[in-house]
Amino acid sequence: MKLRFLGHIKIDPSATEEEIAELLPAEQTRFAELVEQGLINTFYLSHTRDEHWSLCIADSDDELKTALESLPLYKYMKIEYTQLVDDANQA
């Protein structure tokens, strides 16, 4: 059974614009792959573009962690995610 997670990613403010700009094309490509794979389902980017919230779907928290670690900007990210309870599992 797939699990749902709410993720919050914030870019470290110490990352320079140059560092971010250099990795951004690869980040966008990898992010799109995770969306296509269904791991990232819905996402929202803050107006400042340094924070991101997403609904993620994975088989386990390890699968989600591995996927997020594959993002090129991972080393500049502070990541928090919480497993959500599905209605069918609340019994």
- Per-residue pLDDT tens for 12-29? 999 999 999 999 999 999
Give the domains, in start order, of the chain with CATH numbers: 3-85 (3.30.70.1060)
Q: Over 80: is that where the pLDDT of 91 sits?
A: no
Residue 85 pLDDT greater than 80, yes or no: yes
pLDDT average, residue stretch 38-56:
93
Considering Cα of 4, then 70, then 20, then 37, what sign does the dihedral take? Answer: negative
State residue 89's pLDDT score.
52
Give residue 87's pLDDT.
Answer: 65
Judged by phi (left if over 0) then psi (alpha if -120 to 50, else beta), residue 5 lies in: beta
